[in-house]
Structure 1
Amino acid sequence: MQTRILVAYASKYGSTKEVAESIADTLHENGLAVDLKPGREVRSLENYSAVVLGAPIYILHFHKDAQGFLSRHHEALTKLPVAFFALGPLSNEAEEWKEVRVQIDKDLAKFPWFRPVEIKIFGGKFDPKNLRFPDNLLIRLPASPIHDMPASDTRDWTEIRSWASSLAALF
């Protein structure tokens, strides 16, 4: 049986989807069969040898679709190697990266059975022009952490492809 990898993702504005696409492309370039799907659309993990799951951090938690994916596929995920990535930090400040890691660890602790072979954090993307209701209200509130925040994109595409290549060797 050929090694078939599922790259599943949760994405609200498309940034995590773009990273998942890059990971899927890199895995494919490394000779693996890959399916790329939104996590909420995955019905079964039966035909997969491994899973890569990606989620953005929104308002101090990783995306609910990723949490739902973990809950729905609990039994299958205990039998497969799984790599998890998250997008979160919107700057290159070390403290922000530490805070995101602490939050990911807290969220993953809700799934004590989940033991990913890899956990990776990538920088995130923020564009206030693309925010939809109710998120667009947050940029108007002076007490909001994103009030008047400029657009940013801290995703490192070289690092993303390098990590995906390392997963290809692992899987």
Structure 2
Amino acid sequence: MSIAVGDTAHHLGVGTLLAGVLREAGLAAEARPAGSVPGVVPYDAVVVGGALYAGRWQKDARRFVRRHRRDLAGRPVWFFSSGPLDPSASARDIPPEAGVRRAMDRVDAREHITFGGCLEEGAKGWIARMILREGRGGDFRDFPAIEAWAAEVAAELTAR
């Protein structure tokens, strides 16, 4: 079974970790930037992730789902978001923002999870630089939680 992990968040950090856990479970998984995936037909399942910016999913993730919605609807799909620049994602379940919820409904996604975000020096964009100047950056990714969720996805796929 082959799985594409399309990610826009943190230079594929979360997506790379997810794909690694899926491979350890015996699945053929690859992490690729969402904007570089020409199609999802070769994949049996897809995990789509995007960073949250100003309460919206990053544009490459939105475009990916819009561009491939028909093919995504025909296979198992999971979504994740990455974004809160605080420990809130580790403390409680954060529901998908409205646009992600609509995208989930369009492709019948199985699940969505929100992980903490990461914003560190060198980030591009004036908003990112402003947040960093205000001292609100940092790395809030919970790697054990990411690995645990990936293991749940793998278990669901290998049980098929």
State percent identity of aligned pairs: 29
Q: State the match for 1:118 in structure 2.
A: 111
Q: State the match for 1:170 in structure 2.
A: 156
The letter for the 2-side match of 1:154 is F
Of 112-121 and 23-32, more deviation after overlay is shown by 112-121
SS of the residue corresponding to residue 151 of structure 2 reads: helix
Aligned residues: CA RMSD: 2.1
Q: Distance in 1 between matches of 2:84 and 2:21?
A: 23
Q: State the match for 1:66 in structure 2.
A: 61
The letter for the 1-side match of 2:115 is F
Larger Rg: 1
Q: Given the superposition, is the C-alpha separation of residues 170 and 93 from structure 1 closer, same or farther in structure 2, using an over 3 Å criterion?
A: closer
Q: Distance in 1 between matches of 2:124 and 2:114?
A: 25
Does the CA-based 8 Å contact 1:126-1:153 persist in structure 2? yes
TM-score of the pair, normalised by structure 1: 0.81
Aligned pairs for 1:123-162 (under 5 A) are 123-127=116-120, 129-136=121-128, 138-139=130-131, 148-162=134-148
Does the CA-based 8 Å contact 2:119-2:128 persist in structure 1? no
Listed as ranges, the gaps of 5+ residues in structure 1 are 140-145
Q: Distance in 2 between matches of 1:47 and 1:133?
A: 34
Aligned pairs for 1:41-120 (under 5 A) are 41-93=36-88, 101=95, 104-111=96-103, 112-120=105-113
Q: Distance in 1 between matches of 2:128 and 2:22?
A: 35
Q: Distance in 2 between matches of 1:136 and 1:88?
A: 12
TM-score of the pair, normalised by structure 2: 0.86
